[in-house]
Amino acid sequence: MQAYRVQSVKEEAHSDGVWSVAWSKGSLITGSVDASIKIWKGEALENSQTFDGHRLGVISVVTEKSGKYACSSSMDSMIRVWDLSKGTAVNTIEAAPAWTLDFSPDGRFIATGSQVNKCHRSANTGSVNVYGVESGKIEQSFDIQKKTFILTVAYSPNGRYLAAGGQDGSVAIFDVATSVKTSLEGHSMSVRSVAFTTDSERLLTASDDKHINVYDVKQGALIKTLSGHGSFVLSLDVSPTGLTFASSSTDRQIKIWELSTLECIHTFEEHKDQVWDIAYDETGAKLASVSDDHSIRVYTCPTDTSK
């Protein structure tokens, strides 16, 4: 039986806080407030490539399953699509201000929240814009109908839904095909991360209220509120095994939760500063975390059912 443990540590991976992390074919991609994106290979986390191009801090880096592309957003109001094999930006999209991103499960689209609404130019309400990866143009837009800054978006693994969380605590799920919106009540403070379970049936939301809410997607109802973090919950990721999910927080902790019981089964406290992002690899056997302490950490996670 495996246990949760630290596998690798890369101190000073960036010259400043690291804000985002994603896996692509066994490599890690990180984005930092130092404006750079770096690729890390192997257990030793060798820095194999650095992508410069963003002028300001990189807010989000995401990857798609084929491993061809990575996509990043920055405070300089740019979204860049990177060809990972060539190491070059294949597309640059102006999107002011783009926040966190998510690839559609088929890898063709990239969704991001925005304050600027392309559908209704007259209203200053938050919207979720979906860009074509190849075209670089807005292909679809969902209006959250609330005056809020959308901090996070997530596609459901089956591609049916797109969820968004806003700075005022609002959470909405859109039906991608019909654009029908379901609003979820429960948070009054910034929702910084949303994530669907692998079966696309439940939505997890992380908030500055220190709690994680678990919703039933179909019913649009709150199932449970999970206490445990001592400060803002910044990031969530569901393990591809479908058994657990992880949360990270300003309290420097990373918690592993069991989806069946909704209980916390493990806590890591390895970072010296807030943990901005976490990501499971494709197998769920590894979890990576990045923090304002400039470091990257990778943990091994048991993937069998007997925990």
For another protein, the closer of residues 228 and 242 by Cβ is 228
The answer to the question of residue 149 lying near another protein (CB under 8 A) is: yes
Cα–Cα distance for residue pair 87/50, rounded to 1 Å = 8
Closest approach of another protein to the CB of residue 227, in Å: 4
Asked whether position 136 contacts another protein by CB under 8 A, the answer is no
Distance CA 285, CA 25 (A): 13
Residues 183-242 within binding reach of another protein (CB under 8 A): 187-190, 207-211, 225-232
Among residues 43, 85, 86, 122, the one that binds another protein under rule CB under 8 A = 122
The count of chain residues that interact with another protein, using the rule CB under 8 A, is: 51
Q: What secondary structure letter does DSSP report for 49? A: E
What is the DSSP code (8-state) at residue 45? T
Out of 292, 294, 295, 302, name the contact with another protein by CB under 8 A.
292
Q: How far apart are CA 286 and CA 282, in angstroms?
A: 8
Cα 268 to Cα 252: distance, rounded to the nearest angstrom? 9
Helix (H) or strand (E) holding 286: strand 286-291
Q: Per CB under 8 A, which of residues 17..56 are in contact with another protein?
A: 17, 19, 33-34, 55-56
Does 16 contact another protein by CB under 8 A?
yes
CB of 112 to another protein, least distance (A): 12
Give the integer Cα–Cα distance in Å for 51 and 102.
19
Q: For residue 273, what are the CA distances in angstroms to 19, 169, 293?
A: 12, 24, 5
d(CA 92, CA 81): 6
Binding site for another protein (CB under 8 A): 16-17, 19, 33-34, 55-57, 59, 75-78, 96-97, 99, 115-116, 121-124, 148-149, 151, 167, 169, 187-190, 207-211, 225-232, 250-252, 273-274, 276, 292
